[in-house]
């Protein structure tokens, strides 16, 4: 599993607030072009994000399923983008003092053609994409107001 980490200068509650708002995913997840719908109760286990990924007019519609949710600690998703395949994505949050959070983002292909074409170039592209995703998450989380 490819893992990228970043310390975000925001309390864990602010970072979690972004993860828990499914409508923001197209703002910070690189490759997600549009949120079509977010299930009620997101991010409870079994709920889904319905998204479009990739550039228009070649974008694909699919969904991401919550496999595990520990508020303010961990979110595990099964991200689908067929016909390319599926990936397991893990967000782990760890407080680093009162005003900073270490976020780990792990991703591994779980099914489909992408699972079988794994190589150094793909790993490098995935690493850079996830690094940029965390940069965008950081920008939004630092501007969030802490939930009351």
pLDDT in tens, 66-85: 999 999 999 999 998 756 67
Q: Measured between alpha carbons, how far is 11 from 31 in angstroms, rounded to an integer?
A: 26
Rounded to two decimals, the pTM is 0.88
Residue 25, H or E segment: helix 25-28
Residue 29: what are its φ and ψ, rounded to 5°? Answer: -85, 115
Q: Measured between alpha carbons, how far is 94 from 92 in angstroms, rounded to an integer?
A: 7
48-69 mean pLDDT: 88
For the cut 60, the answer to whether the pLDDT of residue 21 exceeds it is: yes
Higher model confidence: residue 10 or residue 147? 10
Q: Measured between alpha carbons, how far is 25 from 36 in angstroms, rounded to an integer?
A: 11
């Amino acid at each position: 599993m490819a893992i990228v980490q970043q310390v975000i200068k925001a309390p864990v509650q602010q970072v979690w607030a972004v993860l828990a708002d499914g409508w923001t995913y197209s703002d910070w997840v690189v490759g997600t072009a549009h949120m079509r719908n977010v299930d009620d109760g997101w991010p409870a286990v079994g709920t889904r994000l319905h998204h479009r990924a990739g550039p228009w007019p070649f974008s694909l519609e699919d969904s991401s399923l919550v496999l595990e949710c520990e508020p303010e600690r961990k979110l595990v998703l099964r991200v689908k983008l067929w016909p390319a395949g599926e990936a397991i994505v893990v967000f782990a949050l760890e407080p680093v003092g009162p005003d900073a959070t270490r976020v780990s983002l792990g991703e591994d292909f779980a099914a489909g053609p992408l699972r079988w074409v794994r190589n150094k170039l793909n790993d490098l592209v995935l690493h850079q994409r996830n690094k940029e995703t965390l940069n965008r998450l950081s920008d939004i989380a630092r501007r969030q107001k802490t939930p009351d």
